[in-house]
Amino acid sequence: MNQTSKIISKAKEEGRKALLEPEAKTICVEYGIPVTQFKVASNENEAAKYADEIGYPVVLKIVSPDIIHKSDAGGVMVDLKNAEEVTDAYKKILENVKKYNTNAKIVGILVQEMAPQSTETIVGAIKDPQFGQTVMFGLGGIFVEILKDVSFRIAPLTTNDAKDMITELKAYPLLKGYRNTPPIDVDALVNILCNTSRLVMDNPEIKELDLNPVLAYQKGAKTVDARIILE
Ligand code: ADP
Ligand code: MG
């Protein structure tokens, strides 16, 4: 578990509370939470080279300690199909971000595998002042934002806790499959919830964790965006 402690100490030394997406995803990988393959590029040629290695289509995202909500800053470009689209997107993202926040410190641009569209879920954790580390699960978009259809459990989670968190959602029938929509891999989500519980229990300095979205598939699930905030 050494990458995790190293990343957290480094952020503390630099006086940063929010981990960068590549840092948060490196921690996820260490805890067995699947994420989209990624590399951080520091110029457009490097971005194109990484995109070739990862395979098209790819997604490019800003990496900056000053940009927490990347799409709000025009810092995310998806479905890039070749090297030319990658170099264009690289320039465009820097331009957008500079307009959004002139003083934003740019660490680089994240090049990542584009995950196929599927059911979007959200896995979260917050450190409750009374109950301590608490894990959250919900479906993406309107389910969380408008219908508040989410479930919570105090960590540490057992496998059964994680299963219950999924099945007690009002939207659970959508995950179970309906008409010609196939069922999604509930066990893959159970694993992610249990590993998230382990992650926040091992690292009490984590104040908030947000895996949003986690794309759920017929087989497996993948975290496309990860945010971790320290105390
Ligand atoms: P933020 O939440 O900081 O604005 P995200 O990384 O979540 O940025 O990107 C915004 C949206 O772009 C995501 O909700 C998702 O729909 C899409 N997206 C981001 N990365 C990927 C990816 N690797 N594969 C597929 N879709 C992606
Ligand atoms: Mg996001």
**Tokens 């690289």 correspond to what residue?**
90
Over the stretch 105-127, which tens digit does the pLDDT of each residue have?
A: 999 999 999 999 999 999 999 99
CA–CA separation, 31 and 50 (whole Å): 24
Question: In this predicted structure, what is the pLDDT of residue 40?
Answer: 98
CA–CA separation, 112 and 105 (whole Å): 21
- CA 131–ligand 1 middle distance (angstroms): 31
Query: For the chain, what is the mean pLDDT?
Result: 96
- CA 210–ligand 2 middle distance (angstroms): 8
Burial tier of 231 (Cβ tally within 10 Å: 0-12, 13-18, 19+): exposed
114 lines ligand 1 (CB under 6 A): yes
Question: In this predicted structure, what is the pLDDT of residue 181?
Answer: 81
213 lines ligand 1 (CB under 6 A): yes
CA–CA separation, 153 and 125 (whole Å): 9
Question: In this predicted structure, what is the pLDDT of residue 83?
Answer: 98
78 lines ligand 1 (CB under 6 A): yes
CA–CA separation, 11 and 227 (whole Å): 13
Confirm if 199 and 27 have CB atoms less than 8 A apart: yes
Dihedral sign for Cα 201, 204, 208, 209, please. Answer: negative
Residue 140, phi then psi, degrees to nearest 5: -70, 170
Atom of ligand 1 nearest to the CA of 117: 25
Residue 140 confidence (pLDDT) above 90: no
CA–CA separation, 88 and 84 (whole Å): 6
Whole-model pTM: value is 0.96
Check residue 181 and report its DSSP letter.
Answer: B
Stretch 160-184: mean pLDDT: 92
Stretch 7-33: mean pLDDT: 97
Question: In this predicted structure, what is the pLDDT of residue 142?
Answer: 78
Question: In this predicted structure, what is the pLDDT of residue 179?
Answer: 82
Atom of ligand 1 nearest to the CA of 76: 9
Stretch 127-148: mean pLDDT: 89
Atom of ligand 1 nearest to the CA of 114: 24
Closest ligand relative to 80 C-alpha:
1
Work out the angle between the directed axes of helices 21-30 and 2-13 (0-180°, nearest 10).
150
- CA 203–ligand 2 middle distance (angstroms): 22
- CA 225–ligand 1 middle distance (angstroms): 6
Q: Whose CA is nearest to atom 21 of ligand 1?
A: 224
Question: In this predicted structure, what is the pLDDT of residue 80?
Answer: 98
Residue 92 confidence (pLDDT) above 70: yes
Q: Whose CA is nearest to atom 19 of ligand 1?
A: 224
Over the stretch 35-78, which tens digit does the pLDDT of each residue have?
A: 999 999 999 999 999 999 999 999 999 999 999 999 999 999 99
61 lines ligand 1 (CB under 6 A): yes
Nearest one of 107, 124, 132 to 193, comparing CA atoms: 124
Residue 148 confidence (pLDDT) above 90: no
Measured in residues, the chain has a length of: 231
Burial tier of 50 (Cβ tally within 10 Å: 0-12, 13-18, 19+): buried
Residue 172 confidence (pLDDT) above 80: yes
Confirm if 223 and 211 have CB atoms less than 8 A apart: yes
76 lines ligand 1 (CB under 6 A): yes
Question: In this predicted structure, what is the pLDDT of residue 199?
Answer: 98
CA–CA separation, 112 and 132 (whole Å): 33
CA–CA separation, 229 and 231 (whole Å): 7
Given pLDDT bands bounded at 50, 70 and 90, which one contains residue 1?
low
